[in-house]
């Protein structure tokens, strides 16, 4: 067992550490993705369908395709697909994202989408059902993932989506920038003790908020999902600008707030949301650029990410500290993060 875990205590932390390698391997899919893009021809509209962590990767896709390519993009939870997919047509590319390629809701949506539209499945497990049924397939190449909570497969899904967006939206620089991310993540992993200490400090909290805007909103959702899955603490991801329309009523000194604040267009607005929650007593953990002095003075704990990462690229490296925070809180609470109660790695029932 220990050998399988490569010296790590759990598969989850091993898989978190495999992320730089996972990105490098996923980048090797580029030529296959180029072939698919050439074959597919014109894409007028995109509709992502997925569940769980794969749904959060899809949300990043929406921000990318709409902001860089002006391609109208919907994101639908697979379990909601049949209630809201009425307007699909032959010019819509339906992109199904699934680590396992076996999630029942996602397969059902795939079968429905095939009646009207071109389908592309982004999948990690070779030969899985989704790969046999979709028109086009992209493999995430993260290697087998054992931990129930998805980590390296999420990072690989994002890598695929960025490559696809780079090609479809003609932004070659996205692919160049992806090559720099493995080293940036490695540097964060080398300093994980800092995050472990923050996790110790908040292990007894009962509620958490995760906030972000734009590209950081799905990151906030994913941070909250990781927390729920493996620590059993209630974590809620919220669009930072929406806090004032309800959740602010819940904020006090017992509800820590994690703010995702990369440099870019949304930065100053999210920092003012940090001020708002602090004024109500909240302890704030911010994830932002290393040399962001503003953040240093506003937040109680700041987790620094390489300054070169802008808002658009931030979803890939910025999720890593959130994964580590949940992992170390899970361990501090005596939970086995690899096998959270009530959850399954692959859900084959609707
Ligand atoms: C389960 C897993 C999650 C995963 C979701 C979707 O709930 O526990 O980690 O994100 O299914 O799975 P898929 O294989 O379709 O990506």
207, 312: one domain: yes
Residue-wise DSSP of 130-185:
HHHHSSEEEE-------SSS-SHHHHHHHHHHHHHHHHHTT-THHHHHHTTHHHHH
Q: Give nearest CA residue, ligand 1 atom 15.
A: 98
Confirm whether 293 is domain-assigned: yes
With a 6 Å cutoff on the Cβ, whether 343 touches ligand 1 is: yes
Residues 31, 39: Cα–Cα separation, whole Å: 13
Q: How far is the CA of 33 from the centre of ligand 1 (A)?
A: 23
The three-state secondary structure class of 61 is helix
With a 6 Å cutoff on the Cβ, whether 348 touches ligand 1 is: no
| Overall domain count for the chain | 2
237, 258: one domain: yes
Angle in degrees, CA 17, 320, 204, rounded to 5:
105
Instruction: Count Cβ neighbours within 10 Å for each residue of 197-219 and write b for 16 or more, e otherwise.
Output: ebbeebbebeebbbbbbbbbbbb
ipTM of this complex: 0.98
225, 108: one domain: no
93, 229: one domain: no
Confirm whether 152 is domain-assigned: yes
Atom index in ligand 1 nearest the CA of residue 100 equals 14
140, 272: one domain: no
Range of the domain at 30: 11-179
The pLDDT of residue 2: 72
211, 84: one domain: no
Residue of 234, 185, 184, 226 whose CA lies nearest to 209 = 234
> If you ran DSSP here, which 8-state letter would residue 240 be given?
G
Which residue, 158, 179, 200, sits at the end of a domain? 179
The pLDDT of residue 51: 98
Confirm whether 162 is domain-assigned: yes
**Residue of 11, 12, 51 to mutate, ligand 1, most atoms within 8 A of C-beta:** 51
Q: Computed from CA positions of residues 179, 183, 189, 194, in that sequence, does the dihedral angle turn out positive or negative? A: negative
The pLDDT of residue 84: 84
Which pLDDT tens digits describe the chain residue by residue (350 residues)? 777 899 999 999 999 999 999 999 999 999 999 999 999 988 999 999 999 999 999 999 999 999 999 999 999 999 999 998 778 889 999 999 999 999 999 999 999 999 999 999 999 999 999 999 999 999 999 999 999 999 999 999 999 999 999 999 999 999 999 999 999 999 999 999 999 999 999 999 999 999 999 999 999 999 999 999 999 999 999 999 999 999 999 999 999 999 999 999 999 999 999 999 999 999 999 999 999 999 999 999 999 999 999 999 999 999 999 999 999 999 999 999 999 999 999 999 99
Q: Give nearest CA residue, ligand 1 atom 7.
A: 52
Which residue, 142, 158, 179, sits at the end of a domain? 179
Structure tokens at 8: 């790590």
Confirm whether 339 is domain-assigned: no
The three-state secondary structure class of 200 is helix
168, 23: one domain: yes
The pLDDT of residue 85: 78
């Amino acid at each position: 067992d220990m050998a399988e875990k490569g010296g790590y205590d759990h598969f989850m932390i091993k898989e978190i550490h495999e992320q730089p390698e996972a990105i490098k391997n996923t980048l090797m899919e580029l030529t296959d993705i180029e072939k698919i893009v050439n074959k597919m021809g014109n894409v007028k509209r995109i509709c992502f369908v997925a569940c769980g962590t794969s749904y959060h990767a899809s949300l990043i896709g929406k921000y990318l395709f709409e902001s860089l390519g002006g391609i109208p993009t919907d994101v639908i939870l697979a379990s909601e697909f049949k209630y809201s997919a009425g307007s699909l047509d032959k010019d819509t590319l339906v992109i199904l994202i699934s680590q396992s390629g076996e999630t029942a809701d996602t397969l059902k949506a795939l079968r429905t989408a095939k009646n009207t539209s071109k389908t592309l499945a982004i999948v990690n497990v070779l030969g899985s059902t989704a790969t046999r049924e979709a028109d086009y397939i992209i493999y995430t190449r993260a290697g087998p993932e054992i931990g129930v909570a998805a980590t390296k497969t999420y990072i690989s899904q994002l890598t695929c989506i960025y490559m696809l967006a780079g090609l479809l939206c003609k932004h070659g620089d996205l692919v160049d920038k992806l090559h720099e991310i493995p080293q940036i993540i490695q540097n964060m992993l080398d300093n994980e003790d800092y995050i472990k200490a923050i996790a110790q400090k908040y292990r007894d909290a009962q509620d958490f908020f995760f906030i972000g805007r734009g590209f950081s909103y799905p990151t906030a959702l994913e941070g909250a999902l990781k927390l729920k899955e493996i620590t059993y603490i209630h974590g809620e991801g919220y669009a930072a600008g929406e806090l004032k329309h309800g959740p602010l009523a819940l904020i006090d000194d017992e509800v820590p707030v994690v703010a995702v604040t990369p440099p870019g267009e949304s930065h100053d607005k999210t920092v003012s949301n940090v001020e708002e929650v602090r004024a109500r007593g909240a302890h704030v953990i911010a994830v932002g650029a290393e040399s962001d002095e503003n953040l240093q003075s506003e937040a109680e704990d700041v987790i620094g990410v390489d300054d070169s990462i802008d808002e658009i690229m931030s979803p890939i490296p910025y999720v890593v500290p959130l994964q580590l925070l949940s992992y170390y809180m899970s361990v501090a609470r005596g939970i086995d993060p690899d096998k959270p109660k009530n959850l399954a790695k692959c859900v084959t029932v609707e």
